[in-house]
């Protein structure tokens, strides 16, 4: 079933629906496979068997990597690779991989305890951003503007978080805007600049931020190429911050939404994704 592709996700969103609808034009059939009901590992066939490729688009920051790793071990072709998915799911690992490769990332501190947090505040100053190592869509990302409130903020992490939820990164606040680049294969197919909307300081397309199309300059292309070289070709949403010293990579999403970028640019991202899937299947 080389022309059959499973979109592994917990729901059919805007992006998944367009992939399913446009697939026949590329000689492909794209089916939704619910990532919440696979129960992989048994002796019998699973709902993910029989496909030429699995396009892992789980919103969960643990489920996607586990499914990708098991599917690859069973001989399935997975986009993105299990290694790439696992790397993107863990913000600390991602930054370590990128920094080792010479790709610029923001200054940061790993916060695993209140003592770590105290040292991060003392070293980075305020305002600073505290974000979970595991997570996405801007959830639980906190801007600490005042050193006097820092300990009260950490009370919530310490008292309400459980195990891995308490693992955080602290980093300098780099402003209220970000750049989202959609990379497919080795190429940037679209880019948009997002600005925080209203009282919410976070810059994230999932939060309904304002956006505008962005012309790509060589510096952006160089940084994105470094990310793809580090993770391997695939389908990524790469978020950048502008700094006085150039662009830095904030996060990389292994299952990017692109509705916000598509509404701002003329790029046909769905076509680019399906063309890449078709090409990789041979």
Sign (positive/negative) of CA torsion 60, 191, 140, 252?
positive
pLDDT (0 to 100) of residue 210? 57
Domain ranges of the chain: 4-88, 109-172, 175-281
Tens digits of per-residue pLDDT, 216-249? 889 999 999 999 999 999 999 999 999 999 999 9
Three-state DSSP state, 166: helix
pLDDT (0 to 100) of residue 2? 61
**Residue bearing the bigger pLDDT, 210 or 263:** 263
Architecture of the structural domain at 175-281: 2-Layer Sandwich (3.30)
Model pTM score: 0.91
pLDDT (0 to 100) of residue 241? 94
Mean pLDDT confidence for 13-32: 97
Q: Does the pLDDT at position 46 exceed 90?
A: no
Mean pLDDT confidence for 33-48: 87
Q: Does the pLDDT at position 165 exceed 90?
A: no
User: Highest-confidence range of 49-63, 149-163, 268-282, by mean pLDDT?
Assistant: 268-282
pLDDT (0 to 100) of residue 206? 53
pLDDT (0 to 100) of residue 140? 79
Three-state DSSP state, 7: strand
| Fold assignment, 4-88 | Rossmann fold (3.40.50)
pLDDT (0 to 100) of residue 256? 94
Q: What is the 3-state secondary structure (H, E, C) of 88-152?
A: HHEHHHHHHHHHHCCCCCCCCEEECCHHHHHHHHHHHCCCEEEEECECCCCCCCEEECCHHHHHH
Looking at the DSSP bridge assignments, the partners of residue 191 are 181
Phi-psi region of 208 (alpha: psi -120 to 50; beta: other; left: phi over 0): left
Mean pLDDT confidence for 258-268: 88
Mean pLDDT confidence for 34-45: 87
Mean pLDDT confidence for 45-52: 88
pLDDT (0 to 100) of residue 61? 76
End-to-end Cα separation, the chain, in angstroms: 12
Three-point CA angle 114, 116, 121, nearest 5°: 95
Whole-number percent of the chain with pLDDT over 90: 69
Q: Which residue has the tokens 């580090």?
A: 230
Tens digits of per-residue pLDDT, 100-149? 999 999 999 999 999 999 999 999 999 999 999 987 767 778 999 998 88
CATH number corresponding to 109-172 = 3.30.1490.20
pLDDT (0 to 100) of residue 204? 55
pLDDT (0 to 100) of residue 47? 85
Q: Does the pLDDT at position 208 exceed 90?
A: no
Q: Does the pLDDT at position 87 exceed 90?
A: yes
- Whether the CB-CB separation of 232 and 80 falls below 8 Å is answered with yes
């Amino acid at each position: 079933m080389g022309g059959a592709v499973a979109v592994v996700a917990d729901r059919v969103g805007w992006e998944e629906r367009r992939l399913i609808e446009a697939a026949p034009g590329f000689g492909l059939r794209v089916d939704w496979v619910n990532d919440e009901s696979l129960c992989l590992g048994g002796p019998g066939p699973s709902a993910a068997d029989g496909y030429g490729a699995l396009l892992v688009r789980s919103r969960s920051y643990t489920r996607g990597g586990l499914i990708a790793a098991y599917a690859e071990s069973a001989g399935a072709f997975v986009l993105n690779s299990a290694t790439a998915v696992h790397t993107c799911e863990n913000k600390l690992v991602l930054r370590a991989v990128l920094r080792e490769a010479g790709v610029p990332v923001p200054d940061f501190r790993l916060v695993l305890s209140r003592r770590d947090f105290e040292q991060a505040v003392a070293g980075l100053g305020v305002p600073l951003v505290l974000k979970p190592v595991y997570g996405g869509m801007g959830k639980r990302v906190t801007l600490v503007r005042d050193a006097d409130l820092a300990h009260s903020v950490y009370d919530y992490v310490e008292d309400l978080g459980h195990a891995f939820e308490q693992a955080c990164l602290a980093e300098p606040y780099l402003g209220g805007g970000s750049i989202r680049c959609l990379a497919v294969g080795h190429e940037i197919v679209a880019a948009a600049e997002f600005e925080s909307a209203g009282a919410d300081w976070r810059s994230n397309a999932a939060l309904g931020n304002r956006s505008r199309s962005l012309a790509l300059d060589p510096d952006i292309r160089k940084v994105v190429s470094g990310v793809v070289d580090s993770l391997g070709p695939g389908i990524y949403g790469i978020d950048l911050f502008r700094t006085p010293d150039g662009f830095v990579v904030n996060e990389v999403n292994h299952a990017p939404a692109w509705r916000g970028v598509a509404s701002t640019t003329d790029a046909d991202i769905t076509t680019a994704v399906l063309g890449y899937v078709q090409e990789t299947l041979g």
